[in-house]
Structure 1
Amino acid sequence: MIYSTVVDSAVLAEHLDDPGWRVLDCRHQLSDTDAGARAYAAGHLPGASFVHLDRDLSGPMNGSNGRHPLPDPQLLAGRLGALGVSRETQVVAYDDSGGMIAGRLWWLLRWLGHDRVAVLDGGVDRWLAQGGLLSTDLPEPAPTLLEPTLRDWVVSTQEVLADVHDGQSCLVDARSPDRFRGENETLDPVAGHIPGARNRFFRDNLDAEGCLRPAAELRREFLALLAGIAPQQAVMSCGSGVTACHNLLAMEVAGLHGARLYAGSWSEWCSDPSRPVAGRTP
């Protein structure tokens, strides 16, 4: 069976020794970028390898391409291949933040054309709550080849800017409601949001235990948000193209396929003062 959205801890536990499965630890804190590596060293799911949001799952910043630019596809495929990920590998990504970072890896692998990837529902906390153990052993996966087949799932700033004027698509911002309104901005130099964007806080996709809510609930809420616009016309954004992937994951679980990603998101948009801003506070 192929898992392409989420997988629960019980299923993963049955496959920990399966050579066709690879587990990747994506833990990260925006305020302390070494926290994930420290957490991994202190204890990780057995057999898991660590990937870093900034170094592995993002490309270099140039001041105008956002805080987490997309990585070079060939470099990313090479890094994942070195960790034992091939076309036939079932990948499971996890974190400790409701899938916030794991969702980015999930989307990146699918962008590369690899559908055998799922997020561990509930992450490391759910794993531990259900009796799973952690390990400090470092895996030694056999390197393999992952050949990317890139999908046209990325929307440019120019396309978003054009849509501000013609309104042909639905731009959805995954940031918290206060940041969307232009309040309490601490990550980017400008507060506010892209004109015409709608807000869907990524944490609204989760239940009280940090697992994804039922597909029917997610479907109902996203359809209400899209308000008649087809999922294929939806574009997900956030602060830097990370939590937007969580909304893409939730839409996929809900059976709403085809939405794309504005990877630069708000941090790229606001780097140019000529671009319009909505919701800015005085």
Structure 2
Amino acid sequence: MKTHSDEKTVVNPLISAGQLESLLSSEGVFVIDCRFKLEDVSYGRRAYQEGHIPGAVFLDLDEDLSSTIVPGETGRHPLPDPAVLEARLRELGMRNSDHVVVYDDSSSLHAARAWWLLVWLGHSKVQVLDGGLAAWRNRGGKTTNSMTVKAWPGNFVAQPVADMWVSSGEVLKHLDTPQWQLIDARAEPRFRGEHEPIDPVAGHIPGAICLPCSGNVDEQGRFLPAAELAKRFAALESNGELVAYCGSGVTACHNILAAAIAGLELPRLYAGSWSEWITDPSRPVAKV
């Protein structure tokens, strides 16, 4: 079984619209549309049906990239069962040898989740379309409303990396040690507990540092250069291993992707994140 140390860095996690265009007609390119809106959960599938990159298949954040919520126990987007996601990817025609490209239309917030999941499942040849669907369209890339059906059976085999993510129990155990440094991907008002539009409890996990994922990209939704992203992480002034979290374990993946682009060791993911942490009132909450 692979371990976290085997996946410390990921080579070339981004692909440009131009690079994708040149690859699109090649054998073995598997494109995934991950569009989603929390305030309109049917948006992604509807948008896909209206127009998507030719050949792309659709994966839904709630239905495919997460498992069922258990009230009072899990966060809002629990990690999917590897076997279930493996079966879904096979159903869509994904093969072990495929070069996978994922995209969305929200500054890669949801594509980063798909990217992380595929890396976790042992598929290293996966990239995020930098700038998403807007970058594709701005380049003149065509879209289609034809449903994609692969002419071959998928054979993807999931090989989960053992310790890319951590549990709430592990986080609680490390709260008072210097071994781990939690980084929170949410906006600063949510981190400080001043404004909480989604979860029933405001604040953050004690000892965490706020590193809003919105700062990873420019105004066009493209990731900052690697050197600038590296500076963001260097400014954290922490010697501990980074552990990323957010509201539900989705946008935390954006910070992990940013670390990969910067050429840094991948932070672990606290998969349950804030929405899981607060299900147990005995877990400490901080506000600043």
* Structure 1 residue 240 corresponds to structure 2 residue 251: no
* Structure 1 residue 42 corresponds to structure 2 residue 54: no
The residue identity in structure 1 corresponding to 2:60 is H
Offset of residue 167 of structure 1: 3.4
Q: Pick from 69, 89, 96: which aligns with 1:80?
A: 89
Kept in 2, the 8 Å contact 1:170–1:235? The answer is yes
* Structure 1 residue matching 2:86: 3-state secondary structure: helix
Calculate the TM-score normalised by the size of structure 1. 0.95
Aligned to 1:65: 74
Q: Pick from 231, 252, 257: which aligns with 2:265?
A: 257
Aligned to 1:275: 283
The whole-number CA distance in structure 2 between the counterparts of 1:99 and 1:206 is: 9
Q: Structure 1, residues 156-194: CA drift from partner, whole Å, max 9, x if none?
A: 101111121223210000011111111221211111100
Consecutive unaligned residues in structure 1, runs of 5 or more: none
Q: Pick from 173, 183, 186: which aligns with 1:175?
A: 186
Aligned to 1:56: 64
Q: Pick from 105, 108, 121: which aligns with 2:117?
A: 108
Tell me: CA distance 1:194–1:228, structure 2 relative to 1, closer, same or farther (3 Å).
closer
Offset of residue 229 of structure 1: 1.6
Q: Structure 1, residues 71-127: CA drift from partner, whole Å, max 9, x if none?
A: 000111111122222221011000000000000000000000001111100000111
Kept in 2, the 8 Å contact 1:4–1:116? The answer is no
Residues 148-163 of structure 1: pairs in structure 2 closer than 5 A = 148-151=158-161, 152-163=163-174
Offset of residue 258 of structure 1: 3.3
* Structure 1 residue 200 corresponds to structure 2 residue 200: no
* Total equivalences in the alignment: 276
Give RMSD over aligned pairs.
1.3
Offset of residue 222 of structure 1: 0.5
The residue identity in structure 2 corresponding to 1:67 is R
The whole-number CA distance in structure 2 between the counterparts of 1:3 and 1:24 is: 19
Q: Pick from 35, 43, 48: which aligns with 1:27?
A: 35
More off after superposition, 154-163 vs 242-251: 154-163
Calculate the TM-score normalised by the size of structure 2. 0.93
Offset of residue 228 of structure 1: 4.0
Kept in 2, the 8 Å contact 1:9–1:126? The answer is yes
Consecutive unaligned residues in structure 2, runs of 5 or more: 1-9
* Structure 2 residue matching 1:101: 3-state secondary structure: helix
* Structure 2 residue matching 1:166: 3-state secondary structure: coil
The residue identity in structure 2 corresponding to 1:212 is F
Following TM superposition, the consecutive aligned residue runs of length 4 or more in structure 1 with deviations greater than 6 angstroms are none
Kept in 1, the 8 Å contact 2:35–2:103? The answer is yes
The whole-number CA distance in structure 2 between the counterparts of 1:10 and 1:121 is: 10
The whole-number CA distance in structure 2 between the counterparts of 1:52 and 1:30 is: 11
Q: Percent identity?
A: 49
Greater relative contact order structure (CA < 8 Å, 6+ sep): 2
Aligned to 1:93: 102
Q: Pick from 211, 215, 231: which aligns with 2:222?
A: 211
The whole-number CA distance in structure 1 between the counterparts of 2:203 and 2:153 is: 44
The whole-number CA distance in structure 1 between the counterparts of 2:94 and 2:120 is: 15
